[in-house]
């Protein structure tokens, strides 16, 4: 999914100085994952997302994602006419919200990072073009390496849920409003 590319871009930008992943499962969860979100942490995560250009990447991925969804629908739903797919894509593009996907990213970062860690990532992002390039603290480098698979999984899964929920709702609406967009399946001969 294109959203994984966005996260990967962010993560690779931030972890370019990281070495091989460390084996430290204690870094994958922590007390920050169960706390109520601190307003300052929330604001800082939003700032990090802005600096890394995730919103723009998500926005530019929406039309290709909807086009791919329409193509998959035609292969997985043989009774769906091209008009069904066209109407589905039109409604998806009209109703899909970048903010819904951004919330997935924000929640994942809030769950796994402290405000101090996000502040370090912001600082690194602001200095990414410096010579020599900045480097992460050893603690954050280790944590980022340890939680990267989990973070990617949560973001990809959350974004998939956002798209699937809206896509399913729109599909049901079209089915009710335009039953003519669904071709009847050919009857199969009954065996005795």
Q: Higher confidence at residue 190 or residue 120? A: 120
Range in 39-48, 118-127, 129-138 with the lowest mean pLDDT: 129-138
CA distances to 100, 125, 129, 130 from 133, rounded to whole Å, are 33, 10, 6, 5
Which residues face 182 on adjacent strands? 80
Domains in the chain: boundaries:
2-15+33-180
In the block, tokens 């599909």 appear at 171
CA gap 85, 119 in Å, rounded: 44
User: What CA–CA distance (Å, rounded) separates 65 from 111?
Assistant: 26
| More confident site: 190 or 9 | 190
Going by pLDDT thresholds of 50, 70 and 90, the confidence category of residue 36 is confident
Distance CA 141, CA 145 (A): 6
The torsion angle over the Cα atoms of residues 79, 83, 85 and 90, rounded to 10 degrees, is -160
Q: Which residues pair with 80 in a beta bridge?
A: 182
56-69 pLDDT tens trace: 999 999 999 999 99
Distant-in-sequence, close-in-space partners of 86: CB < 8 Å, separation ≥ 6? 70
């Amino acid at each position: 999914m294109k959203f994984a590319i966005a996260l990967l871009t962010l993560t690779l930008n931030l972890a370019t100085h990281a070495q091989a992943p460390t084996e430290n499962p204690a870094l994958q969860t922590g007390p920050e994952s169960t706390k109520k979100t601190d307003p300052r942490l929330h604001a800082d995560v939003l700032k990090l997302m802005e600096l890394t250009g995730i919103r723009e990447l998500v926005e530019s991925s929406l039309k290709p994602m909807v086009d791919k969804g329409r193509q998959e629908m035609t292969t997985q739903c043989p009774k769906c006419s091209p008009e069904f797919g066209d109407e589905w894509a039109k409604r998806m593009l009209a109703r899909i919200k970048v903010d819904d996907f951004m919330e997935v990213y924000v929640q994942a970062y809030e769950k796994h990072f402290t405000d101090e860690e996000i502040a370090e990532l912001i600082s690194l992002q602001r200095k990414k073009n410096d010579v020599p390039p900045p480097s992460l603290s050893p603690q954050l480098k280790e944590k980022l390496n340890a939680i990267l698979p989990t973070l990617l999984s949560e973001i990809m899964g959350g974004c998939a849920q956002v798209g699937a929920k809206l896509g399913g709702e729109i599909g049901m609406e079209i089915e009710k409003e335009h039953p003519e967009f669904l071709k009847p399946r050919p009857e199969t001969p009954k065996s005795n």
